[in-house]
Amino acid sequence: MSTETDAPSPPETDWDKAHDSAEFKELRSRLRRFVFPVSALFLGWYLLYVLLADYAHGFMSTKLFGNINVGLVFGLLQFVSTFLITGLYVRYANKKLDPIAEKIRTDIERETK
């Protein structure tokens, strides 16, 4: 009969070494180069929407066709921009982040064997 303590423990990983590696620093730098500007742009876009909704009632209630007004279109564009950012991030991650992350993972696994 075996207990949990009988199982061999996995080899220890030197996380400080992995964190200090050039690859990890490059990964973090590439992530920040995408996330910070895109987040700032999106938050600015959202703030514009909120400010227009609060202070530009006449503009936001301008009818475009039928019961569709500028405010509704801007609100729907918030969703569109969210999906667009998600798609851009996935493409960026696949090209720029995932290869480095895979190399880091491979290096860590090789060291722990």
What range defines the domain where residue 105 resides? 25-112
What is the distance, to the nearest Å, from the Cα of residue 63 to the centroid of all Cα atoms in its chain?
Answer: 35
Residue 9 has pLDDT above 70, yes or no: no
At a CB cut-off of 8 Å and minimum separation 6, what does 73 contact? 64
Span 29-62, pLDDT tens digits: 999 999 999 999 999 999 999 999 999 999 999 9
- Identify whether 19 is part of a domain: no
Domain count, the chain: 1
- Identify whether 18 is part of a domain: no
Lowest mean pLDDT across 5-9, 47-51, 101-105:
5-9
- Tokens 């667009």 locate to 84
**DSSP label at residue 94:** I
Q: For helices 22-55 and 98-111, what crossing angle results, to 10°?
A: 140
Nearest in space to 34 (alpha carbons), one of 89, 80, 81: 89
- Identify whether 16 is part of a domain: no
- Identify whether 1 is part of a domain: no
- Identify whether 108 is part of a domain: yes
- Identify whether 74 is part of a domain: yes
* pLDDT confidence of residue 67: 93
